[in-house]
């Protein structure tokens, strides 16, 4: 979620700690950003924006009308100094603007993309196991045809067999 007004941006970023830490470090050194301040950081049981496309809203008085708990908050109040000291206002803004930016179709596509990625990974693993088994069989067959000892190939065959067993 990215909100903008009066030259001020307010953004929610979710993800794994190390990824967020890296991203924040990049933002802090980016010359396009000034007065960067983390207003809140917390661990949440489930992501609030997991199946959500990036939303951008320009904060105006019209868009602020009707937000529960913010009847005295105006677009002029959307500025760095005000937001830094008002975490409840920030939470209300994020809750209010989150829902309209969820695109169900994009959410479905994202979910399908996750399934496709999972299937791609599974297929790659099967391919890798098949290649190991093929290599072991070719090596064993070639050694047997040439009358060479096959004892040294047993560890490779065991590895191939183990990779083919269901886990």
Q: What is the pLDDT of residues 28-71, one digit of tens each?
A: 999 888 889 888 888 888 877 766 666 678 899 998 887 878 88
Domain that holds residue 160: 105-164
Number of domains in the chain: 2
> In the prediction, which pLDDT does 136 show?
86
Query: Are 128 and 79 in the same domain?
Result: no
Q: pLDDT (tens digit, 9 = 90+) per residue, 133-159?
A: 888 888 888 888 998 888 888 888 888
Query: Are 74 and 115 in the same domain?
Result: no
The residue from 102, 125, 153 where one domain ends is: 102
The residue from 102, 125, 149 where one domain ends is: 102
Query: Are 7 and 88 in the same domain?
Result: yes
The whole-model pTM stands at 0.55
Q: pLDDT (tens digit, 9 = 90+) per residue, 78-112?
A: 999 999 988 889 988 888 877 655 555 666 676 68
Backbone angles phi, psi at 44, to 5 degrees: -120, 150
Query: Are 129 and 80 in the same domain?
Result: no
In degrees, to the nearest 5, what angle opens at C-alpha 93 toward C-alphas 92 and 97? 120
> In the prediction, which pLDDT does 161 show?
85
The residue from 86, 102, 118 where one domain ends is: 102
Query: Are 16 and 94 in the same domain?
Result: yes
Query: Are 22 and 8 in the same domain?
Result: yes
> In the prediction, which pLDDT does 21 show?
92
Backbone angles phi, psi at 58, to 5 degrees: -90, 120
> In the prediction, which pLDDT does 105 show?
64
Query: Are 97 and 119 in the same domain?
Result: no
Query: Are 89 and 159 in the same domain?
Result: no
Tokens of 67: 């937000």
Query: Are 70 and 112 in the same domain?
Result: no
> In the prediction, which pLDDT does 101 show?
56
Residue 26 pLDDT more than 90?
yes
Query: Are 75 and 27 in the same domain?
Result: yes
Query: Are 95 and 118 in the same domain?
Result: no
């Amino acid at each position: 979620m990215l909100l903008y007004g009066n030259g001020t941006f307010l953004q929610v970023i979710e993800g794994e700690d190390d990824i967020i830490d890296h991203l924040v470090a990049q933002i802090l050194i980016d010359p396009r950003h000034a007065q960067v301040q983390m207003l809140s950081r917390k661990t949440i049981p489930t992501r609030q924006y997991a199946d959500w496309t990036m939303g951008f809203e320009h904060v105006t008085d019209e868009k602020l009308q009707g937000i529960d708990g913010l009847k005295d908050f105006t677009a002029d109040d959307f500025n760095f100094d005000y937001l830094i000291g008002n975490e409840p206002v920030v939470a209300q803004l994020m809750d209010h603007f989150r829902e309209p930016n969820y695109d169900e179709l994009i959410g479905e596509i994202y979910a399908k993309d996750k399934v496709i990625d999972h299937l791609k990974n599974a297929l790659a693993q099967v391919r890798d196991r098949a290649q190991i088994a093929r290599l072991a069989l070719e090596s064993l067959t070639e050694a047997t045809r040439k009358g060479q000892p096959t004892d040294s190939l047993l560890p490779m065959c065991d590895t191939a067999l183990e990779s083919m067993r269901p886990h």
